[in-house]
């Protein structure tokens, strides 16, 4: 395709110069030239011939692939009331990593009538020779499947499993069964467009039938796994997406042992040219380079303070301090002891605790309304082959791979809320007054009305995660400069410290209206195909075995009030007493008899290690997982059962100068009482020591703390 007349117009309203299509920057004013590739969703063989320009604006590159040659102008937008199907796209904006968003509509004359062509953003494309004249669509998943690693194959299925229920709720689950629209871009599953369900929505057995087609070309390590999984869907052994995701999580965990990550983190914060004080904060401290290994912890946090009069600075630093204290303990636990759903819950609770600390400070200083200090937050926690991202506010996380730059957080602002509700297209919503006003931030009220967003991302290739305050992300600076500034990290042509400095410089010179803070997390992967065969274990039902000790007491009269008094958190109270994520336990196994010598336990406590914190939401039904039900009755030592957790009330000698320290948490696997019922003796097998007796008076059932 050639069109010598086609040009790309500068988006700078004071320039608007015409540039050759191959240029990355305006030849007159050096403004970056965004290349907005679009997918035309239309029921026809094509929208026109390659090289043709539609509506004096959209250059046809392929049958349904267009380029907006005037990216500085808003596209025409449809009347949403008359186009109900569009609302599915809008309401699925939290999943825009996979589901395209609406760019606008194109009105094309068709004889005596006009037709509307829906334009969708960022289709999965392969650019040839770095020129926009030659593009190919990303491969269909069914085509790319046979060439992917076992880790990537399960990763794709895992993403589809997470998308299933949201797409079912919008009546578009058929999209995940259509091999034409189901595409991949590197490790990501991407949809070209949405396919709307017929009168009867597809169910999980149909997903199993689709996956059964993939078994033939599954890698040897997972062929049996995929076959068993798809049959379990077809035969309705798996009847919920939570159950399906749990099976895939265990499969990925098995493959994850063949993947060795290396992580580097750097942060940088700057006051900027127009502010007197820096209200941002970050962790690690600005300019600090953290590498894992050898460091045991890898955690990046960016906060953008709100409030003025030093309030924003106080709030952002208080959030960093509180979350660091909570999350650092989570990073010391072996991956095998992590339940992903509970870790997400723990991250949300850490954010809630930071929120209440700041809100308590506001209450103590009698700050009301706009005087209340607060902060945004975005943090990244790499755990084995996953990245956990949590955010509140408009500080963002971007995921950069060799295939593209993806914004993985959705701002908590008015514009995003309007789109989620199906009221407006995002490109139009951001133009409205107060579009950037935050709808939530840490410290503005009780955590009972706070809704942090936490997500998991499977990593099977090298990547860079950028966390940034809006000092850099405003005006699409990340989208403009990621390819020239951040992508070289993945090519080994730049180090992250230099890139962090450069990003701060771009923020100060191209924006300059605010403080700026960035954190770069460089995740490198070494992977080899395992020789073992991964087995799919299909549970009868999902259950958890621990009890939440930090459930929130909600007060309906407080919800929605920005100035209510929050629960006071005494400065002297240890954080560990408020949050106990039980999945972090390094279990000591109780067994029924001395013959179970094959069972071993993890190390009780190392002198340098901190006590784990534990939690599990079981006191009420979990809306995200209906299979997890409330505990039916109070527990006590009298009815001690496997799966519960107890705590030692005092030091217990094990002999040979070893002991169980007071406060040690023990997970009950099996229980056997002394032949003399009156003795109240429990038997315990501990690593490297003989079987010992522990009297029940030396124990406390954890649920009674």
The correct CATH number of 259-410+440-527 out of 3.60.40.10, 3.40.50.1370, 3.40.50.2020, 3.40.50.720 is 3.60.40.10
> Rounded to whole angstroms, what are the CA distances from 587 to 175, 594, 631, 667?
43, 18, 22, 5
Q: How far apart are the first and last CA of the chain?
A: 72
If we measure between CA atoms, which residue out of 379, 264, 404, 400 comes closest to residue 323? 379
What is the structure's pLDDT at 253? 94
Provide the mean pLDDT of the chain.
81
* pLDDT-derived band at 328, boundaries 50, 70, 90: confident
DSSP-assigned beta bridge partners for residue 382: 387
Match 């460089």 to its residue by tokens. 522
pLDDT exceeds 90 at position 636: no
Picking from 505, 509, 496, the residue whose alpha carbon sits closest to that of residue 465 is 496
- Threshold 0.85, pTM exceeds: no
Q: Using CA atoms, how far apart are residues 265 and 319, in angstroms rounded to an integer?
A: 19
What is the rounded distance in angstroms from the CA atom of residue 529 to the CA atom of residue 82? Answer: 51
SS3 of 349, please? helix
CA distance 264 to 256: 19
pLDDT digits (tens, 9 = 90+) for 63-84: 999 999 999 999 988 776 666 6
Burial class of residue 350 (count of CB atoms within 10 Å of its CB; 0-12, 13-18, 19+):
buried
Domain-wise residue ranges, the chain: 8-122, 141-256, 259-410+440-527
Please, which contacts does 646-652 make with residues 24 or more away whose CB atoms are closer than 8 Å?
646/699, 646/700, 646/701, 646/702, 647/699, 647/700, 647/701, 647/702, 647/705, 648/694, 648/698, 648/699, 648/700, 649/697, 649/698, 649/699, 649/700, 650/698, 652/692, 652/694, 652/698
pLDDT of residue 199: 85
Alpha helix segments (H runs only) across 189-333: 204-212, 223-234, 241-256, 311-330
CB 89 within 8 A of CB 102: yes
Average pLDDT of the segment spanning 248-269: 96
Closest CA to 303 of 467, 126, 63, 161: 467
Query: Which residues does 598 contact at the CB level (< 8 Å), separation at least 6?
Result: none
Percentage of the chain beyond pLDDT 70 is 73
Residue 444 phi/psi, 5-degree rounding, is -85, -15
User: 496-532, pLDDT tens digit by residue?
Assistant: 999 999 999 999 999 999 999 999 999 999 999 999 9
Mean pLDDT lowest among 39-43, 133-137, 427-431, 435-439: 133-137
Q: How confident is the model at residue 12 (pLDDT cuts 50, 70, 90)?
A: very high
User: Can you give 514-559 as a three-state secondary structure string?
Assistant: CCEEEEEEEEEEEECCCCCCCCCCCCCCCCCCCCCCCCCCCCCCCC
The first and second tokens of residue 560, run together, are 């929605």
The stretch 174-186 carries a mean pLDDT of 97
Alpha-carbon dihedral angle through residues 617, 618, 622, 627, given to the nearest 10 degrees: 130
């Amino acid at each position: 395709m050639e069109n010598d007349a086609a040009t790309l117009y500068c988006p700078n309203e004071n320039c608007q110069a015409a540039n050759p299509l191959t240029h990355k920057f305006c030849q007159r004013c050096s403004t970056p030239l965004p290349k907005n590739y679009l997918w035309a969703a239309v029921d026809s063989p094509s929208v026109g011939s390659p090289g043709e320009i539609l509506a004096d604006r959209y250059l046809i590159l392929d049958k349904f692939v267009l380029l907006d040659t005037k990216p500085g102008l808003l596209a025409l937008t449809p009347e949403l009331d008359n186009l109900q199907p569009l609302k599915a796209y809008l309401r699925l904006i939290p999943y825009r990593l996979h589901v395209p968003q609406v760019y606008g509509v194109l009105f094309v004359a068709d004889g005596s009538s006009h037709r509307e062509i829906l334009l969708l953003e960022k289709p999965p494309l392969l650019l040839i020779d770095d020129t926009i004249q030659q593009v190919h669509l990303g491969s269909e998943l069914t085509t790319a499947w046979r060439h992917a690693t076992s880790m990537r194959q399960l990763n794709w299925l895992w993403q589809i499993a997470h998308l299933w229920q949201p797409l079912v709720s919008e009546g578009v689950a058929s999209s995940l069964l259509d091999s034409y629209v189901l595409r991949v871009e590197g490790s990501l599953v991407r949809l070209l467009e949405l396919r709307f369900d017929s009168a009867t929505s597809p169910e999980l057995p149909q997903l199993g039938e689709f996956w059964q087609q993939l078994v033939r070309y599954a890698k040897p390590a997972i062929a049996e796994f995929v076959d068993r999984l798809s049959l379990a869907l077809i035969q309705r052994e798996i009847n919920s997406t939570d159950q399906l995701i749990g099976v895939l999580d265990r499969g990925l965990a098995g493959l994850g042992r063949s993947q060795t990550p290396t992580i580097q983190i750097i942060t940088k914060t700057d006051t900027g040219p127009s502010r007197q004080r820096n209200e941002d904060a970050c962790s690690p401290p600005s300019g600090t380079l953290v590498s894992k290994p050898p460091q045991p912890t890898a955690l990046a946090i960016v906060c953008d303070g709100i409030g003025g009069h030093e309030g924003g600075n106080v709030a952002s630093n208080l959030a960093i301090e509180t979350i660091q204290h909570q999350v650092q303990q989570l990073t010391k636990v072996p991956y095998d002891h992590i339940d992903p759903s509970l870790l997400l819950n723990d991250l949300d609770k850490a954010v809630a605790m930071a929120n209440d600390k700041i809100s308590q400070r506001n209450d103590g200083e009698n700050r009301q309304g706009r005087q209340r200090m607060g902060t945004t937050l975005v943090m990244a926690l790499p755990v084995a082959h996953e990245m956990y991202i949590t955010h509140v506010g408009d500080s963002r996380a971007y995921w950069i791979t060799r295939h593209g730059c993806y914004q993985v957080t959705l701002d908590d602002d008015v514009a995003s809320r309007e789109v989620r509700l199906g009221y407006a297209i995002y490109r139009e919503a951001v133009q409205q007054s107060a579009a950037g006003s935050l709808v939530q931030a840490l410290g503005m009220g009780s955590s009972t009305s706070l809704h942090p967003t936490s997500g998991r991302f499977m990593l099977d290739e090298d990547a860079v995660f950028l966390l940034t305050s809006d000092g850099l992300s405003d005006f699409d600076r990340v989208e403009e400069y990621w390819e020239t500034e951040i992508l070289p990290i993945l090519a080994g042509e730049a180090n992250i410290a230099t890139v962090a400095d450069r990003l701060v410089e771009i923020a100060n010179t191209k924006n300059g209206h605010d403080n700026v803070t960035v954190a770069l997390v460089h995740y490198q992967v070494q992977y080899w195909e395992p020789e073992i065969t991964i087995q799919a274990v299909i549970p009868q039902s999902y259950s958890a075995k621990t009890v939440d000790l930090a459930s929130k007491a909600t007060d309906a009269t407080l919800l929605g009030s920005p100035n209510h008094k929050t629960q006071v958190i005494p400065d002297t109270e240890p954080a560990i007493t408020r949050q106990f994520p039980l999945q972090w336990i390094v279990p000591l196994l109780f067994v029924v008899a001395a013959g179970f010598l094959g069972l071993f336990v993890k190390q009780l406590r190392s002198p340098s290690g901190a006590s784990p914190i534990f939690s599990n939401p079981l006191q009420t039904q979990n809306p995200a997982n209906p299979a997890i039900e409330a505990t039916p009755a109070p527990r006590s030592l009298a009815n001690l059962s496997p799966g519960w957790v107890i705590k030692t009330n005092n030091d217990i000698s094990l002999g040979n100068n070893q002991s169980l320290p007071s406060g040690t948490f023990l997970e009950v696997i099996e229980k056997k009482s002394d032949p003399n019922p009156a003795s109240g003796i429990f038997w315990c097998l501990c690593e490297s020591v003989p079987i010992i007796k522990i009297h029940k008076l030396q124990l406390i059932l954890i649920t009674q703390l």
